Structure 1
Amino acid sequence: MDGTGSVGVQVAPPGDDGVDGVDPGGGSPSGGSPSGGSPGGDGPGSGDAAARPSWWRRYVGRFTLPGCWGALILACFSFTPSLLPRGGFLQGLLCGITAAIGYGLGVWFAAMWRALADRPARPARPRSWLVFVVVGSVAVVAAFAAGQYWQHEIRALMGVTEYNLVLVVASPVIAVIVFCLLLALGRGIRSAYRRLATLLERWIGARSAAVVGWIAVAVAVWLVVSGVLLSTLSDMANSAFSVKNDTTAEGVEAPTTGLRSGGPDSLVPWDTLGYEGQKFVTGGPSAQEITEVIGRPASEPIRAYAGLESADDSEARAALAVDDLARAGGFERENLLVMTTTGSGWVDPAAVDSFEYITAGDSATVSMQYSYLPSWISYLVDQSKARDAGRDLFDAVYDRWLRLPADERPRLYVAGESLGSFGGETAFSGEYDLRNRTSGTLFAGPPNFNTLFAEFREGRDAGSRASEPVYKDGRTVRFANDAAADIPPADKPWDGTRVLYLMHPSDPIVWWSPDLIFSEPDWIREVPGDDVLEDMVWLPFVTFWQVSADLPFSTGVPGGHGHHYTTEYVDGWNAVLQPEGMTDADLERIDAALTGD
């Protein structure tokens, strides 16, 4: 143990204090003497390579007791439940990240305490380390066991049977590796700061050099992460997924009907629709299939679509999609749906198929692609493209719709899932705009940053929960965890245009926000939703990373949970469309047709 309470085989020189950036001797940030001499007080040429600590010791191999306590506390908290089941690899990753954050916080608080007390670092007694090892061992075992219990409970709650015992056992090893890598990264950044501060001391005082050095390094790290790193990752993802976009799914062939984009006489070439666009225009039920399910005559649904390669920009793609919609006779149908896609151009088949079944095929749907990236990546880097696409497409449809005689206009609906709901919202200014310019709206799994969704949720009526809010007595906008049940407030009128948000309490897309780092949200503070464990609690830093870890796997759970809304659309559209003569038996047959049961 060194003179500052750090664990290490080799005694560190005074300049390598092991207290993570705090010089207990009051010297310069580089760890040398105030006069700028060598750490040991000798000349520049003193010492040899054998006496210097290795890079591993400098960046990973030295630990402080306050930092270790912080790492232990947050690592144990990482085993608490979040919204979705968590596999062994993910738990190890999460544990390592939170432990690294806890270590940094422990070191920082210790440094602040020493600064307030105006005293140098004191060595930790061997007994203190012994207490830490004993308590830490018991705490980690207890947290691991409790974590497995919670994961069993949440899997049972959602009907998840997958369980990889090997990865669960390996999770502590994964956590240690991640922790050490992050600690090495942090100490590398600290080393850069010290070198810069030492250099700056030649021109400014030591305190000023320390402040300027930290600011410069912090800005540099931010620029690298937010600029170079994210830009590079985005470009790599775009390149990778653009390759898939240029392919055609197995068994998918160009339409033989002019009622679909890419078919005969279409204004949109088949090979420009993209992977998801081609699946969209060739999918869905035929008139015969609709008739067989609902038991009455049906029309052949119309689907129009423009891919990224179909036109040069968002406005041009929207105009092309609407032109092709008009060519196919879309404005002559009784029901017209404007569907905003997710990032890759994907449209949940259940969202449109159920609309076509309930309207007996007397419908037209128009959509367009705005990115190559999957929704969860677009969620982070492509929000502006979703905003432009949603606004441009609806405006193009609405402009054409307004030109029609009032008695010849189709009923106009809007829908979107996930990032598609974000794009769909951007065409509207609020509740009255949705009510006045549409016949109905269905949004599923809205991201937490959706402007209107946030406005409605935060402005909810007193007494209603964030997980199922009631907005202005539900006169226009309502929220449902389960659209098959009564949509609250069931005792209030819901006349005219109906706007419905489908949102599962366990959907991380709905709840993820940077605010989770420092503030407890209402949806955790309140009574939890039906598919969220009561044991879920908010913890600074930890909950943010738990919900972040849930995001990529949000669709990998059974329907009715997470970000999986396939089974919700039939009841959702039934509530919005209010079709005459639709029975529960009809809805069950439609649902069976969608799920293949």
Structure 2
Amino acid sequence: MAEEPEARQSRPVRVVRRVPSWGALTGAVICYCLSFTPSLIPRAWWLQAAAGAITAVFGYGIGAFLQWLLWRCGVRVRGRVRRWAWLVLTAVGAAAVVFVTAWSVRWQGDLRRAVGLDPRVSWWQWALVLPVALLLAALLVLIARLVRLGTRMIARQFGRVIPPWAAATGAVLVAAVLVVGLVQGFLLRGLLNVAESAASLTDRSTSPGIVRPTLATLSGSPASLEDWDSLGAKGRDFIGQATTAGQITAFSGQPAKDPVRVYVGLRSADTLAHRAALAVAELDRTGGFTRQVLVIVSTTGSGWVNEQIATPPEYLYGGDSALVAMQYSYLPSWISFLTEGEASDAGAALIDAVHAHWSTLPADHRPKLLVAGESLGSYATERAYPDGIAGLASRTDGALLVGPTPDNPIRRDVTDGRDRGSPVWRPLYQDGRTVRFAQTPADLDLPGGPWDRPRVVYLQNGSDPVTWWEPSLIWRRPQWLEQPRAADVSPTMRWYPLVTFWQVTCDLAVSNDVPAGYGHRFGTLPVYAWARIAPPPGWTDADSARLDARLRAGS
């Protein structure tokens, strides 16, 4: 007998079922197990727990939807078959979860060994993965059920005045707007505000051992247009660690100059245009436009400049160099990436302002103009050249772009237009005449043919999640998992829809927790890159090796 409508309406609405559906749990178990398969970077136990929980919840949702779809099509399992299905799922699912959790210790050991880390994993910590993942997954499922309950309540109210199909559609739309508004307008915006406030306070601090300079060639000195306090924490680090003429002389055995370093902090002026103009004025004051080489460095989100990128040109040119950088945010790159428009605007503002002044100088009396950027800084550098690689090559004397992001427009065009047969992780573009990609010093000499000037170098690791993370991982197998693979990508890594996306997302959190040459770390490789991009007369490979050793010892 069919159930009366009044009886259905009087039935209490349950937020949590006594037993989740068979399809939902099956999907959760499968996705949980897949989340442990090898990825790009070894993970800590807590990160694996989070990856397992989030992936399992998506599997739960997919399984529940598929079972609902079968029910709607009239396919239902009852009686003895249903009982056996539950017994099999309970036994096999529990065994699979425990086995894969334990076996993943071996996978993690292989990944750690591949990046030069101790392969041993703490068993007592890894034993926490399963209970923590279960708790987190249960919480996420509960939240999802609360959203579903709210949607049904809205639909019930709408159903009093409009047809059921319209009520259901309207309820889903209202719920979606409310959830998205809560996440973006309240949670995300609130977290960003808190993060920016905290970062702003940190920006006022000064690292131990960093003191205000006295040399007129440095920003923040008594002769500077820039106040020391306005430079920000990362700016003070950049200026306070400037190479001295004495250090360069000790390395080369030749007389040297004190390098010019200019930095403009976020507090220096209210607008990007004013800060860029201040940078040009500082370069003019310090004599930066009279040096042999001038390097424009686009910073990461918080204004950080990697010393391994900044220092080599100073040694290559005996201190007859100038570096200029400008801060555009207090937030670290992984948060600034959400508002990457700031990075592109800042990169263009600084590069355009410096280039405009540099262009007015006599061609035989102006420095080589180089540009550089790491991570989000590489993105900011590229965005300053909307006409692509041709514009970058025509307006500079060389470029060094380290750990590029998937949104870098020039890198994307070069990679898409690579020569036939070259892999996406080490693309060969137009026989390497202008652009080359490297993970080791030897890569810079490939393919071995002529390398015209200006030269553009990308330092790009095969295991860098910052470079390879993109939403398309949800539904499409990435080209960097095709054969041949980069040497630092596990041969056992496989692509799974949605799962791989969350694995690489988790890898972002630990992309710097590996030795140089893996993940998002490049060590002293910029030494060899700069020596190829803009070598001074008489510089040799032996000099690069000596400078490499010196910087390794210093760091």
**TM-score, structure 1 length as denominator?**
0.89
What's the counterpart of residue 203 of structure 1?
Answer: 161
Match of 2:189 in 1: 231
The amino acid that maps onto 1:38 is Q
Bigger mean CA deviation after superposition, 267-276 or 160-169: 160-169
CA distance in 2: counterparts of 1:529 and 1:64, whole angstroms? 42
Q: CA deviation at 1:593?
A: 1.9
1:36 CA displacement: 8.4
Structure 1 unaligned blocks of 5 or more: 1-24, 28-32, 41-51
Which amino acid counterpart does residue 137 of structure 1 have in structure 2? A
Q: Distance in 1 between matches of 2:16 and 2:346?
A: 47
The yes-or-no answer on 1:131 pairing with 2:88 is yes
Residue of structure 1 in register with 2:307 after alignment? 349
- Partners of 1:464 and 1:197 in 2: how far apart? 55
* SS of equivalent residue, structure 1 residue 58: coil
SS at match of 2:318: coil
Kindly provide the CA deviation profile for residues 185-218 of structure 1, in whole angstroms up to 9, marking residues without a partner as x: 1101101110011011011111221122112212
Per-residue CA shift, 1:87-121, capped at 9, x if unaligned? 11111111111110000000011112222x24678
Does residue 303 of structure 2 align to residue 332 of structure 1?
Answer: no
CA distance in 1, matches of 2:506, 2:16: 27
Task: Give the corresponding residue for 2:393.
Answer: 435
Tell whether 2:545 aligns with 1:588.
yes
Aligned residue number for residue 326 of structure 2: 368
Worse-matched range after superposition: 87-96 or 484-493:
484-493
The SS at the match of 2:161 is coil
2:424 to 466, 474, 483: 466
Please tell me whether the aligned partners of residues 333 and 376 of structure 2 are also in contact (alpha carbons under 8 angstroms).
yes
Pair 201,77 (structure 1): closer, same or farther in 2 beyond 3 Å = same
Structure 2 residue identity aligned to 1:582 = W
Counterpart check, 1:158 vs 2:129:
no
CA distance in 1, matches of 2:55, 2:306: 35
Query: 2:330 aligned with 1:387, yes or no?
Result: no
Contact 1:294 1:589 in 2 (8 A): no
CA contact (8 A) 2:312 2:530 kept: yes
Cα distance in 2 between the residues matched to 1:378 and 1:166: 36
Contact 2:42–2:108 under 8 Å retained in 1? yes
Note the alpha carbon deviations across 1:428-461, whole angstroms, 9 max, x for none. 1211111110000000000111111111112211
CA distance in 2, matches of 1:34, 1:397: 74
* 1:246 correspondence with 2:204: yes
Contact 1:413 1:439 in 2 (8 A): yes
Number of the residue aligned with 2:37:
80
**Equivalent residue runs for 1:49-60 within 5 Å:** 58-59=15-16
Matches of 1:60 and 1:530 in 2, distance apart? 48
Question: Take 1:358 and 1:177, find their aligned partners in 2: how far apart are those partners?
Answer: 55
**Cα distance in 1, alignment partners of residues 442 and 212 from structure 2:** 40
Question: Of 494, 519, 542, which residue of structure 2 is paired with 1:537?
Answer: 494
Offset of residue 386 of structure 1:
0.4
CA distance in 1, matches of 2:123, 2:314: 44
Within the alignment, does 1:506 sit opposite 2:463 as a pair?
Answer: yes
Structure-2 residue corresponding to 1:282: 240
Deviation at 1:585, TM superposition (A): 2.8
- What is the aligned-residue identity percentage? 42
Query: 1:61 offset after TM fit, Å?
Result: 5.1
- Deviation digits for residues 447-498 of structure 1, max 9, x if unmatched? 111111111112211101011111122221111121x113364232111100
Report the Cα distance in structure 2 between the residues aligned to 1:119 and 1:522, rounded to whole angstroms. 39
CA RMSD after TM alignment:
1.8
Q: Is the 8 A contact 1:290 1:361 kept in 2?
A: yes
Q: In structure 2, how many angstroms separate the alpha carbons of the residues matched to 1:487 and 1:507?
A: 19
* 1:151 Cα deviation after fit: 0.8
**What is the CA distance between 1:34 and its match in structure 2?**
4.2
Kindly state the Cα deviation for residue 166 of structure 1 after the two structures are TM-superposed. 2.7
Contact 2:403–2:520 (CA under 8 A) maintained in structure 1: yes
For 1:411 and 1:219, how far apart are their aligned partners in 2? 53
Alignment of 1:103 with 2:70, yes or no, is: no
Q: Deviations for 1:508-533, whole angstroms, at most 9, x for unmatched residues?
A: 00001011111111011232211110
Runs of at least 5 residues in structure 2 that lack an aligned partner in the other structure: none
Equivalent residue letter for 1:323: A
Aligned residue pairs total 550
Does the C-alpha gap of structure 1 residues 151 and 327 become closer, same or farther in structure 2, counting only changes over 3 Å?
same
Report whether the alignment pairs 1:550 with 2:550. Answer: no
Structure 1 position 39 matched with structure 2 position 10: yes
Q: What do residues 397-452 of structure 1 show as CA deviations (whole Å, max 9, x unaligned)?
A: 00100111111111000000000001011111211111110000000000111111
Does the Cα contact within 8 Å between 1:351 and 1:566 map onto a contact in 2?
no
Displacement, 1:332?
0.2
TM-score by structure 2 length? Answer: 0.95
- Is this contact kept in 2: 1:340–1:367, CA < 8 A? yes
Q: Distance in 1 between matches of 2:421 and 2:5?
A: 62
Q: Report deviation, 1:545.
A: 0.6
CA displacement at 1:259 relative to structure 2: 0.2
Distance in 1 of aligned mates of 2:131 and 2:89: 20
Deviates more, 1:583-592 or 1:405-414: 583-592
Could you say which residue in structure 2 is the equivalent of 1:561? Answer: 518
- 2: distance between equivalents of 1:295 and 1:490? 35
Mapped to 2, the partners of 1:366 and 1:251 lie a distance apart of 22
